[in-house]
Structure 1
């Protein structure tokens, strides 16, 4: 494919330019539908005349439909958009970027969506779908799947396709609740994933950040103990990578704790531990759920994070277990390149 793209760049560069333009239009329609021509032109910084011409072409190809409310994707258009993604990644040099960063971070695999969620927050859906595609490619090899909470993981669960057949899988929340909206709690997301897969799930009705004195008595409750035993059996973990400051807020840490975490150079948090950019523990808190030793021993892990502000957290987490498969976006990937040696690789 690379040789063909290089030839096209030299002989018919307008073909690639048109493809990128139409991909951008289809993608924006998929994210913002129903949308009118004027708003679409404004979002993509194109003239209305250009948009009108392109929209007519896409409609003739049965990739979009138009009604009084605006433009929206057809089923064929959705399929074409998904199939175009890998080709656009090659055109934009993302495939090469994935190879370079996989080697630099020393992890199993990196998947980079051809979008920046810093510029297009709605593109986080693309990241969730990419994570879902990779998840579906390996889930049948596993029996117990751990799921964490947060907005990224909620998007992951929401965008999983609905399975028609029953899957012999158990879905478990990998950690306790963090005192936030019910929709983004690990319990709720584990149940969402299970329903999409027609699998089985168990719940963990325990706050994540309880005192150690209380933890012993709660974890001895039979239902809680049973769930913790299931967590010990996790053989695939899917989680959103969080930076230290955001996670400290989610965990309702005190101002004093937040200051200590910052002063010690923490850039990421996972399973009650805060890490510096080298993946070294700089602060610990009590937590319920998967333990760090268990995480380090896992052979299959999917971490999802995008945006420049998550790059240092990604680098930190990548150094804890090299079996990580990272799903990210262009903005995080580009900053990772900067902080791991620049763009000099050939």
Structure 2
């Protein structure tokens, strides 16, 4: 007898996670502990999901070519780029330039799992439209013992694009404490950055952002569609300088060339965000995708800074084969 698909968003996400757990356990021969580690969930939840799959017939219904293809892509990306974690979100017939719905569901699922696992009591949060959509898709998940902190200054000319909205929504969804860096994204000079950080009440929040052991962030490309350009934080002259330096990807105000090397380091020195070495000491998970982000994602994956990736299926295919990147 076929089982009716869950009608609520949370029910669909749980069914999808059960399908992944079932495929790994029954098809790949992983132990329940292996499944838990792979999916970033507790061993108890892995056991419950596998039991549900067996009880409700999810193995027969959901473990099909589409799911297994996504999991195989995850394996390839983990191996190619030495990642600890990868989640490939099945395509939902969206705009290839920005598959927002698929990515938002994948990001929300990741956040929910991390909150429930409670391995990290402090999570750093980046900015951007995709990350904002993931937080909007997050159900109410109690996390009173957890803290969230913005890992990038975010005063912009347009309030609607302000990344502070992300941290506010997280606090509303979880009941957790949420902290902001009340500074611009870039200081005018490295010296001005130090002056800003020396202001009372600022240094503590910034130190918290730099100490986050788990960071979820978006990835930017280097074009007029970049978040910084669209909000007036960089202009045409600076965009030209970045292009001349060979920059193709951006993470929290740091720019990278196609080989994954940090370039245009003047921007890094002025960015109100954790520095490169601090990011290397954290678990950094990128939430990004779409055809226009493929080159930027390739650059960041080659940098070695990313420990995890949440990406749409079509972009994952490009990254796994490195075609056109």
Q: Same fold (TM over 0.5)?
A: yes
CA distance in 2, matches of 1:81, 1:190: 23
Determine whether 1:229 maps to 2:201. Answer: no
Q: How many residues align?
A: 271
CA 222–117 in structure 1, closer or farther in 2 if over 3 Å, else same: farther
SS in 2 for 1:237: strand
Determine whether 1:301 maps to 2:275. Answer: no
Please list every run of at least 4 consecutive aligned residues from structure 1 whose deviation after the TM superposition is greater than 4 angstroms. Answer: 84-90, 120-123
CA RMSD of aligned residues (A): 2.9
Name the residue aligned to 1:268: 249
CA 261–215 in structure 1, closer or farther in 2 if over 3 Å, else same: same
CA distance in 2, matches of 1:122, 1:280: 25
1:128–1:155 Cα contact (<8 Å) kept: yes
CA distance in 2, matches of 1:166, 1:333: 31
Determine whether 1:105 maps to 2:86. Answer: no
Unaligned ranges ≥5, structure 2: 21-60
Give TM-score, length-normalised by structure 2.
0.74
1:303–1:325 Cα contact (<8 Å) kept: yes
Determine whether 1:125 maps to 2:108. Answer: no
CA distance in 2, matches of 1:123, 1:274: 23
CA distance in 1, matches of 2:107, 2:307: 13
CA distance in 1, matches of 2:324, 2:151: 34
Larger radius of gyration: 1
CA 184–257 in structure 1, closer or farther in 2 if over 3 Å, else same: closer
Name the residue aligned to 1:143: 121
CA distance in 1, matches of 2:172, 2:308: 24
SS in 1 for 2:264: strand
Deviation at 1:294, TM superposition (A): 0.8
SS in 2 for 1:137: helix
CA 115–181 in structure 1, closer or farther in 2 if over 3 Å, else same: farther
Map 1:85-104 to 2 at 5 A: 86=20, 90-92=64-66, 93-104=69-80
Determine whether 1:289 maps to 2:273. Answer: yes
SS in 2 for 1:101: helix
Deviation at 1:228, TM superposition (A): 0.9
Greater alpha carbon shift after TM alignment, 318-327 vs 146-155: 318-327
Deviation at 1:128, TM superposition (A): 1.6
Map 1:37-52 to 2 at 5 A: none
CA 313–113 in structure 1, closer or farther in 2 if over 3 Å, else same: same
Deviation at 1:214, TM superposition (A): 2.9
